Amino acid sequence: MLSVLKRLDDGLSVVERQLLGWSIVIMAVNTVANVIMRLGFSSSIFFSEELNQFLIILVTFVGISEAARMGRHIRMSAFTDMLGPQASKIMMIIITLGTAALLFLLAWYSVGYVSSLIQSNRLTPALRIPYYFTVLIVPFGLTVTGIQFVLAAATNIFRPGTHLSYRVEDTFSDADDHHL
């Protein structure tokens, strides 16, 4: 069962990295093309801002999942670094479970928001696509990120050491304190 979940997560990671990479490339090309159009032809690309807005949402909510998977999320570790290894591990479990709960709650609310957008039949101004298409990634990204934090908590419960994610062990140790 765990090997199936790991392969599924590995595949999801590949898709996320591709989405992130291509979204950033498309944003850069779109922005440069729009600047060239404005400076050279005194006219903007009519959908440029809308496309970049969608891509920023995509990068944000796909990126948080990949960051959590790789233990690259922002964290305030000054307090936990002062604790001993056991207390630090307990704090990491509490923090990861609390973060997961918050992410699942936000995902729940975002599903409601997407549902209200579907019912409203709003279209984006420039591309005239249903507005909910631009935010469909939000509940998915929040849910997958919540799952990453649950996996991190489980890893901390069942494995020795303190782990930032199920893939990444925290490298900070008491031995590092003696070199400061």
Residue 106, class by beta-carbon neighbours within 10 Å (0-12 exposed, 13-18 middle, 19+ buried)?
A: middle
Return the SS3 of 128. Answer: coil
Tally the residues of the chain: 180
pLDDT in tens, 90-143: 999 999 999 999 999 999 999 999 999 999 999 999 999 999 999 999 999 999
Q: How far is CA 80 from CA 71, 98, 111, in A?
A: 16, 15, 34
CB-based burial, 63-73: b 16+ in 10 Å, e otherwise: bbbbbbbebeb
State how far the Cα of 141 lies from the Cα of 37, in Å rounded to an integer. Answer: 34
pLDDT in tens, 46-86: 999 999 999 999 999 999 999 999 988 877 777 777 888 88
